[in-house]
Structure 1
Amino acid sequence: MRTTKDRLRHTLGFELLGLVIFTPLASLVFGFEFHLMGVLAVAGSLIATVWNYLYNLLFDHAMLRLRGDVRKTTLIRVLHALLFEGGLLLLFLPMIAWYLGISLWEAFVMDIAMAAFYLVYAFFYNLAYDRVFPVPNPTAQPE
Structure 2
Amino acid sequence: MQGVKRRVVYVGLYELVAIVLSAILLKLISNADAVNSFGIAVVASAIAILWNLAFNYGFELWEKHRKYQGRSLGIRVLHAVGFEGGLLIFLVPIIAWWLEVGLFQALLMDLGLLVFFLFYTFTFNWVFDAVFGLPAGVAANPVTCS
TM-score normalised to structure 2 length: 0.63
Q: For residue 32 of structure 2, what is the aligned residue in structure 1?
A: 32
Higher relative contact order (CA 8 A, sep 6+): 2
Larger Rg: 1
Question: Cα offset for 1:105?
Answer: 0.8
Report the counterpart of residue 65 of structure 2 in structure 1: 71
| Structure 2, gaps ≥5 residues long | 68-73, 141-146
Aligned to 1:135: 133
After TM superposition, the structure 1 = structure 2 runs for residues 1-143 of structure 1, keeping only pairs within 5 Å, are: 2=2, 4-54=4-54, 71=65, 85-131=84-130, 133-135=131-133
Q: How many aligned residue pairs are there?
A: 128
Q: Which amino acid counterpart does residue 123 of structure 2 have in structure 1? A: F
Structure 1 residue identity aligned to 2:9: R
User: Which residue of structure 2 lines up, in the alignment, with residue 66 of structure 1?
Assistant: none
> Aligned-pair distance for 1:102?
0.7
User: Matched residues in 1 for 2:55 and 2:128: separation?
Assistant: 25
Match for 1:16: what amino acid? L
Using a 3 Å threshold, how does the CA distance of structure 1 residues 6 and 110 change in structure 2: closer, same or farther?
same
Q: Deviations over 1:88-115 (max 9, x none)?
A: 3332211111110111110010111122
The Cα shift of 1:11 comes to 1.9
Identity of counterpart residues, as a percentage? 31
Q: For each residue in 1:40-99, what CA deviation from the matched residue of structure 2 results, as whole angstroms up to 9, or x when unmatched? A: 111112112223445677899xx9xxxxxx836889x95x87665554333221111111
CA distance change for structure 1 residues 12 and 112 in 2, over 3 Å: closer, same or farther? same
Q: Which amino acid aligns with 1:71?
A: H
